[in-house]
């Protein structure tokens, strides 16, 4: 009799041309990834050739029970690292039957900003550093921590090796390889300062693709931790006290910033970000006030300051960027549970499209 693993790993290519497409979308909470699968007659490599689909929005907090149909529109295709073969993962966004985007559809607004001619001309690049915490399933306590207790203070755990310092590496490495298989521009991983906390980086990716890729990378991580019997948390401060929080530092550059003289463009862009600090903070994730305290490599949530090589700043500019006079900068304010569609498009809108008026007050605090 076949083992369950044998059936899961069945290669269908010998018996059918049909493939399985896993449709993925963001649920009503704004952080829950949902998915369901359908059979297609053959391989597809263009999302515009995929059929639209629907789901019961009353079960995901995205529609009322008496009018519950929500339409899934395919937007990006990735290889499926779980089913392999020609099977695919499909990132979708959500609409009412009349074609209007539902309130939780943040991709639609982002795509509108990224399709603006002025934004397209600047070719905005994003690199997102997604931090997360692995939790023991039955206790919601960080992986590797003694039950009901605490490990030794922070210091030995960042980028560490060893059974007493690194917890969950098998999950992290599986996720790394699965993302590469899927076609995600994952550029690296590392253990974080708090034990049981890790980070992966997506990018550089252009425009709305950064959001598509990060959401699918999150989905893949949820699936892998499901298999491993571990819970992944994107809470920005999962453990109170003298422990680092979890962010989603967003690295950003435009064509002008990457060109000669780009450092002046960067400084102007950072000044704009400072003028809209409150608006950005409001869009940068829930519970971020627990993380942005001015401690543990953060700036205080009520203060905007930027600096070169300063990880206690709101925005950090790298030494290489300062030296070369061009490059990128890092917005360190986004929380780990931020929506990448919202954050990336807001950064692009503020730095490329928005022009401050004299009533906006003083420029950002410089280093």
Dump pLDDT digits (tens) for 244-274.
Answer: 999 999 999 999 999 999 999 999 999 999 9
> In the CATH hierarchy, which fold is given to the domain comprising 115-147+158-353?
Creatine Kinase; Chain A, domain 2 (3.30.590)
Q: What are phi and psi of 323, to 5 degrees?
A: -70, -45
What are the residue ranges of CATH 3.10.20.70 in the chain? Answer: 12-104
Specify the range with the lowest mean pLDDT, choosing from 10-14, 94-98, 211-215: 10-14
What is the model's pLDDT at position 365? Answer: 46
Q: What is the pLDDT of residue 66?
A: 86
Residues of the chain with CATH 3.30.590.10: 115-147+158-353
- pLDDT for res 65: 86
Residue 255: per-residue pLDDT = 98
CATH topology of domain 12-104: Ubiquitin-like (UB roll) (3.10.20)
Q: What is the pLDDT of residue 96?
A: 96
- pLDDT of 115 reads 98
Q: What is the pLDDT of residues 197-206, one digit of tens each?
A: 999 999 999 9
């Amino acid at each position: 009799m076949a083992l369950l693993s044998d059936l899961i790993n069945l290669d269908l290519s010998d018996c059918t041309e049909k493939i399985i497409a896993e449709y993925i979308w963001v649920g009503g909470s704004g952080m829950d990834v949902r998915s369901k699968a359908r059979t297609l007659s053959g391989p597809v490599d263009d999302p515009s050739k995929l059929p639209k689909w629907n789901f019961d929005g009353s079960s995901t907090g995205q529609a009322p029970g008496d009018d519950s149909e929500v339409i899934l529109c395919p937007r990006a295709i990735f290889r499926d690292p779980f089913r392999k073969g020609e099977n695919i993962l499909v990132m979708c966004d959500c609409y009412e039957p009349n074609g209007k985007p539902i309130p939780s559809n943040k991709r639609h607004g982002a795509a509108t900003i990224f399709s603006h001619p002025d934004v397209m001309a600047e070719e905005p690049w994003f690199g997102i550093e997604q931090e997360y915490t692995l939790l023991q399933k039955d206790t919601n306590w960080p992986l590797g921590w003694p039950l009901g207790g605490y490990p030794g203070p922070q210091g030995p755990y960042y980028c560490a090796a060893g059974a007493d310092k690194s917890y969950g590496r098998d999950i992290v490495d599986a996720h790394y390889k699965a993302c590469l298989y899927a076609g995600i521009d994952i550029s690296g991983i590392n253990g974080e300062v708090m034990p049981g906390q890790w980070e992966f980086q997506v990018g550089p990716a252009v425009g709305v693709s950064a959001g598509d890729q990060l959401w699918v990378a999150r989905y893949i991580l949820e699936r892998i931790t499901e298999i491993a019997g571990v819970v992944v948390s994107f809470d920005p401060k999962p453990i109170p006290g003298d422990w680092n929080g979890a962010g989603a530092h967003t690295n950003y550059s435009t064509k002008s910033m990457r060109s000669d003289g780009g450092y002046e463009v960067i400084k102007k862009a950072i000044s704009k970000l400072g003028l809209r600090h409150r608006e950005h903070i409001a869009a940068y994730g829930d519970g971020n006030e627990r993380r942005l305290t001015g401690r543990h490599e953060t700036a205080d949530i009520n203060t905007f300051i930027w600096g070169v090589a300063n990880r206690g700043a709101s925005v950090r500019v790298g030494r290489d960027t300062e030296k070369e006079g061009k490059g990128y900068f890092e917005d360190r304010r986004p929380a780990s549970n931020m929506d990448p569609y919202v954050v990336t498009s807001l950064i692009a809108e503020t730095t490329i499209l928005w022009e401050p008026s004299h009533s906006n007050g003083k420029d950002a605090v410089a280093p």
